[in-house]
């Protein structure tokens, strides 16, 4: 009887051999799901291949039969399947666990995709709907909603219709069933600039095969319009587009613009499991032309794929930092190569990896050096805060500039890297600080909730009325967005201050309402975290204040300065879109060479200097880098385990062990080692040997491997 190797969805680093019973018919292809006995349970797995070597007679007696074939056809085409296998191998992750990542939870549990009928709800809030099929309304409430929609010439948004009819479930049902249809063509195509036309033309000329293009355009240069020109051409050829964004909840404008021109399926974390399966099937059957989503949208089957767009390619959100630590940008490029389709990487602040590839000629490098509207880039200035008191995060010069901006009818944007009221609570009498009991970190004070919260393990406790150690008064240490909001509200008035961070924007609706308030253009001071650096278009923002930059300048992470100049440049890019803008960088390190070069020479010159430093020191991303982490309950056990393996391998490319920057997290002690190899091949060989040696230790603690880590942590 034939045998098949199956990847079972578990963290064990192997496939499992099963017998293929004749009663189930023909042997399945790789990429089909099966149900198999696993211990005392029946679990779902994916067929990897027919067993290469026939098991011995003795071994064959222990092999159990497959119980059920779920899919008669593979879930993906051969190039996609080959990419997922490569991904598991490249990122040195157990194959079953890696392949489980590629499936929606419902399919991983053995469920079936939803029939490709109906549509998903608009997540951007910008899509307008019109009454398309009045006869589909069968109840009085449905008829009332359809009449309300029909009364709006040019269509009505979902949120406006819900507010008008107070019938959210009915509105959503009519959208899903297609009785309410999106109004297409409402988006007026902008006349492209000469630079945009040239870039779009070069991308369209490269649609017939694999290539990688870096669309390197300043903030406000109109990269989205260039994408849409290429997308229109791809759809005209009967093909599909995968459009990856770092965080779906932060791009309502982009999604709205796409939805007004194309049939779009948006994948995001707010989707129910049923809608995830529907999205999967809509893409698999070719019922939608454009799939927009975060990194996991990469795994959606698209039979007619013709283009992959990766917007904000530099963003660290594309790199998963737990479990299977893959980078969606890099896997997408490998997939595009396998499928013979082009990739467009877009950013105003390209990553060092993409910049080096473009300079070396491996990527086509298209540059948009001017804003599409002709507006000037904002002027950057430094506020030397070394001798200026700013306990609330905002110095007096910054506050004066904000006041002047609002008085002139403009909007100001204040960026802080941390949410919460303060970084910690501190006792000036005995030195007590609000340390997390589980982590090597301080608990952040959230005054609105009256709590101390660890942002790493979520441990929380109530705000102490006094120092728990000596009963003296405690004071807030450092400033987060909540503290800055309070200070600015007192100085400017509550009606003129809006905070944007994940503490207050808990839903897509809340985000949409906040962005609508900003777009109205009334005088407003917007306070927020990195949410503000995600490609939003705020036309009336004429002042940006950037604070909290100092810690990145002294980080142990070699790439912290690169991330800092990306954040500053991205936040600065919100200013001066339609009126002259100004950017104030508040820092105690005003003479720092990185800050000075960014102000005087711009992002690309500063990045080029950092890349030269990477090359001179053979630091990532120049070398082939991997980070190895062990988390143990005993303080020294991880160090001892790593020492054993490192001593056995005895390779100069393997450095460590050393305590992690955060030595303790969620109750576990963390030790690390790094691989700094000259080539990917050398790194791959070394990591495979490391995994083999780790197995011989017989430890219950897994070795966590992060290939091409985005940061040390």
| DSSP letter string, 625-678 | EEEEEEEESSTTHHHHHHHHHHHHH--TTEEEEEEEEEEEETTEEEEEEEEEES
Cα–Cα distance, 646 to 85 (Å, whole number): 28
Q: Is residue 114 scored above 70 in pLDDT?
A: no
Retrieve residue 528's tokens: 């927020």
Q: Retrieve residue 134's tokens.
A: 């009045």
Tokens 């039969």 -> residue: 65
| pLDDT for the residue numbered 353 | 96
pLDDT at 361 over 90: yes
Q: What is the C-alpha to C-alpha distance for residues 551 and 711, in angstroms, rounded to an integer?
A: 15
Residue 16: what pLDDT? 93
379-421+479-613 topology per CATH: Rossmann fold (3.40.50)
Work out the percent of the chain whose per-residue pLDDT is above 70.
94
- Of the ranges 149-158, 372-381, 569-578, 647-656, which is most confident? 647-656
Instruction: Please tell me what DSSP assigns to residue 422.
Output: B
Q: Two tokens at 638?
A: 């991880």
> Of 54-68, 291-305, 478-492, 539-553, which gets the smallest average pLDDT?
54-68
Residue 600 · residue 348 · CB < 8 Å: no
Q: Are 73 and 31 in contact (CB under 8 A)?
A: no
What b/e readout covers 328-346, taking b as 16+ CB neighbours within 10 angstroms? bbbbbbbbbbbbebbbbbb
Q: Which of 464, 444, 468, 463 is nearest to 454 (CA)?
A: 444
Is 32 marked within a binding site? no
Residue-wise pLDDT tens digits, 408-439: 999 999 999 999 999 999 999 999 999 999 99
Contact, 669 vs 633, CB < 8 A? yes
Check the annotation: does 427 bind a ligand. Answer: yes
Averaged pLDDT for residues 627-656: 95
pLDDT band per the 50, 70, 90 thresholds, residue 197: very high
| DSSP one-letter string for 107-143 | HHTT--PPPS-S-PPPSSS--EEEE--GGG--SHHHH
Residue 508 has pLDDT above 70, yes or no: no
Q: How confident is the model at residue 215 (pLDDT cuts 50, 70, 90)?
A: very high
**323-332, 568-577, 670-679: least confidently modelled range:** 568-577
Q: Is 10 annotated as a binding residue?
A: no
Nearest to 279 by CA among 262, 267, 261: 267
Q: What is the pLDDT of residues 260-279, one digit of tens each?
A: 788 888 887 667 788 888 88
Beta bridge partners of 17: 5
- pLDDT tens profile 389-404: 787 889 999 999 999 9
Question: Nearest-CA neighbor of 305 among 342, 358, 257?
Answer: 342
Position 68 scores a pLDDT of 94
pLDDT value, residue 577: 77
In this prediction, residue 121 has a pLDDT band, given cuts at 50, 70 and 90, of low
Picking from 679, 673, 608, 675, the residue whose alpha carbon sits closest to that of residue 643 is 673
646 to each of 4, 538, 649, 654, 674, how far by Cα in Å? Answer: 36, 52, 5, 7, 11
Across 198-206, average pLDDT: 96
Residue 157: its pLDDT value, please? 73
Between CA 197 and CA 308 the distance in angstroms is 19
Mean per-residue pLDDT, 180-206 = 83
Higher pLDDT among residues 182 and 710, named by residue: 710
Q: How confident is the model at residue 187 (pLDDT cuts 50, 70, 90)?
A: low
Judging by DSSP bridges, how do beta strands 497-500 and 364-368 pair with one another?
unpaired
Q: Which residues contact 1 (CB under 8 A, 6 or more apart)?
A: 19, 20, 21, 22
Q: How many CB atoms lie within 10 A of CB 386?
A: 11
Kindly report the backbone phi and psi dihedral angles of residue 220, in degrees, each rounded to the nearest multiple of 5, phi listed first. Answer: 85, 10
Going 21 to 24 to 28 to 32, the CA torsion angle's sign is negative
Positive or negative torsion for Cα 643, 648, 650, 651 = negative
- Would you place residue 688 in the very low, low, confident or very high pLDDT band (cuts 50, 70, 90)? very high
From CA 662, how far away is CA 669, in angstroms rounded?
A: 9
Q: Which of 67-71, 93-97, 129-133, 448-452 has the lowest mean pLDDT?
A: 129-133
**Cβ neighbours for 585, distance < 8 A, ≥ 6 positions apart:** 380, 381, 382, 383, 546, 549, 568, 595, 599
What is the dotted CATH code of the domain comprising 624-707? 3.30.70.600
**Lowest-confidence segment of 260-264, 648-652, 685-689 by average pLDDT:** 260-264
Per-residue pLDDT band at 678 (split at 50, 70, 90): very high
**Beta strand segments in 126-197, E:** 128-131, 156-157, 180-182
Q: Mean pLDDT over all residues of the chain?
A: 89
> With 60 as the cut, is the pLDDT of residue 120 above it?
no
Closest CA to 217 of 246, 241, 192: 192
pLDDT at 691: 94
624/390: higher pLDDT: 624
CB 594 within 8 A of CB 565: yes
pLDDT range class, residue 686, cuts 50, 70, 90:
very high
Give residue-wise pLDDT tens across range 586-623.
999 999 999 999 999 999 999 999 999 999 998 889 99
525 has binding-site annotation: no
Distance of CA 226 to the CA centre of its chain: 22
The pLDDT value given to residue 184: 66
Contacts of 125 (CB under 8 A, 6+ apart): 157, 158, 159, 252, 256, 508, 509, 512
Nearest to 436 by CA among 663, 631, 234: 663
Sheet holding 497-500, edge to edge: 379-384, 582-587, 541-546, 411-415, 524-528, 497-500
Q: Which helix (H) or strand (E) holds 409?
A: none
Cα separation, 46 vs 71, whole angstroms: 10
Q: What is the pLDDT of residues 434-482, one digit of tens each?
A: 999 999 999 999 999 999 999 999 999 999 999 999 999 999 999 999 9
Beta strands 497-500; 379-384: pairing state:
unpaired
pLDDT given at position 117: 59
CATH architecture of structural domain 194-368: 3-Layer(aba) Sandwich (3.40)
Angstrom distance (rounded) from CA 346 to CA 343 = 10
Alpha helices in 520-592 (DSSP H): 550-553, 560-572
CATH superfamily, region 3-108: PriA, 3(prime) DNA-binding domain (3.40.1440.60)
Place of tokens 């045998």: 3
pLDDT for 456: 94
pLDDT on residue 130:
81
Q: How confident is the model at residue 67 (pLDDT cuts 50, 70, 90)?
A: very high
Rounded-to-integer distance, Cα 705 and Cα 471, Å? 45
> Strand 68-69 to strand 33-38: parallel, antiparallel, or no bridges (unpaired)?
antiparallel
Residue 545: name the closest of 517, 515, 575, 524 by CA.
Answer: 575
Asked if residue 690 lies in contact with residue 670, where contact means CB atoms within 8 angstroms, the answer is no
- Across the range 281-300, mean pLDDT stands at 91
* Cβ atoms of residues 590 and 599 within 8 Å: no
Lowest mean pLDDT among 35-49, 204-218, 474-488, 564-578: 564-578
């Amino acid at each position: 009887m034939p045998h098949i190797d199956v990847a079972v969805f578990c963290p064990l680093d192997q496939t499992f051999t099963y017998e293929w019973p004749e009663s189930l018919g023909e042997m399945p292809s790789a990429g089909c799901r099966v149900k198999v006995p696993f211990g005392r349970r029946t679990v779902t797995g994916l067929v990897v291949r027919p067993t290469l070597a026939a098991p011995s007679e003795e071994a064959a007696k222990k092999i159990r039969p497959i119980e059920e074939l779920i899919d008669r056809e593979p879930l993906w085409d051969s190039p996609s399947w080959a990419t997922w296998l490569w991904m598991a191998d490249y990122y040195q992750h157990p194959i079953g666990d890696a392949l489980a990542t590629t499936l929606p939870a419902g399919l991983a549990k053995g469920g079936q995709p939803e029939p490709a009928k109906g549509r998903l709800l608009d997540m951007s809030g910008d899509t307008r709907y019109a009454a398309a099929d009045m006869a589909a309304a069968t109840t009085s409430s449905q008829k009332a909603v359809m009449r309300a929609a029909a009364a709006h010439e040019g269509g009505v948004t979902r949120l406006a219709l819900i507010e008008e009819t107070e019938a959210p479930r009915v509105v959503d049902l009519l959208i899903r069933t297609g009785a309410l249809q999106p109004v297409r063509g409402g988006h007026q195509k902008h006349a492209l600039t000469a630079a945009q036309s040239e870039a779009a033309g070069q991308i369209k000329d490269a649609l017939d095969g694999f290539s990688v293009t870096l669309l390197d355009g300043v903030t406000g240069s109109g990269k989205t319009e260039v994408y849409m020109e290429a997308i229109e051409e791809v759809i005209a050829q009967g093909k599909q587009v995968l459009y990856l964004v770092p965080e779906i909840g932060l791009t309502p404008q982009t999604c709205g613009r796409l939805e007004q021109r194309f049939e779009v399926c948006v994948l995001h974390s707010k989707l129910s499991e049923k809608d995830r399966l529907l999205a999967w099937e809509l893409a698999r059957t070719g019922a939608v032309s454009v799939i927009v989503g975060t990194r996991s949208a990469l795994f959606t089957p698209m039979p007619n794929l013709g283009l992959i767009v990766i917007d904000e390619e530099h963003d660290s959100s594309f790199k998963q930092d737990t479990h299977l630590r893959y980078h969606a940008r890099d896997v997408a490029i490998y997939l595009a190569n396998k499928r013979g389709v082009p990739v467009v990487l877009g950013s105003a602040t390209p990553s060092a990896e993409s910049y080096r590839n473009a300079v070396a000629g491996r990527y086509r490098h298209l540059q948009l050096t001017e804003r599409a509207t002709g507006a000037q880039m904002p002027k950057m200035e430094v506020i030397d805060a070394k001798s200026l008191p700013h306990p609330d995060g905002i110095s007096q010069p910054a506050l004066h500039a904000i006041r002047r901006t609002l008085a002139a009818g403009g909007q100001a944007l204040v960026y802080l890297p941390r949410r919460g009221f303060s970084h910690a609570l501190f006792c000036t009498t005995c030195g007590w600080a609000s340390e997390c009991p589980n982590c090597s970190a301080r608990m952040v004070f959230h005054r609105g909730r009256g709590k101390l919260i660890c942002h790493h393990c979520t441990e929380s406790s109530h705000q102490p009325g006094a120092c728990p150690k000596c009963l003296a008064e405690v004071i807030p240490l450092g400033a987060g967005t909540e503290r800055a909001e309070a200070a600015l509200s007192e100085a400017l008035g509550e009606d003129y201050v809006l905070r944007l961070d994940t503490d207050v924007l808990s839903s897509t609706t809340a985000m949409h309402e906040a962005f609508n308030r900003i777009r109205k253009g009334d005088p407003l001071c917007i306070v927020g975290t990195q949410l503000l650096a995600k490609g939003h278009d705020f036309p009336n923002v004429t002042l940006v204040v950037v604070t909290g930059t100092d810690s990145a300048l002294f980080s142990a992470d070699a790439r912290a300065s690169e991330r800092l100049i990306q954040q500053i440049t991205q936040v600065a890019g919100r200013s001066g879109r339609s009126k002259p803008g100004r950017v104030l960088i508040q820092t105690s390190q005003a003479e720092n060479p990185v800050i000075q070069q960014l102000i005087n020479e711009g992002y690309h010159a500063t990045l080029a200097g950092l890349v030269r430093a990477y090359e001179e020191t053979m630091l990532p991303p120049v070398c082939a880098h991997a980070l190895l982490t062990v988390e143990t309950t005993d303080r020294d056990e991880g160090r001892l385990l790593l020492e054993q393996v490192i001593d056995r391998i005895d390779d100069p490319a393997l450095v460590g062990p050393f305590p992690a920057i955060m030595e303790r997290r969620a109750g576990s002690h963390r030790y690390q080692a790094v691989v700094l190899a000259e080539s990917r091949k050398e790194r791959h060989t070394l990591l495979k040997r490391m995994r083999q040696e780790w197995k011989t230790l017989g430890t219950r603690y897994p070795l966590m491997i992060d290939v091409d880590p985005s940061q040390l942590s």
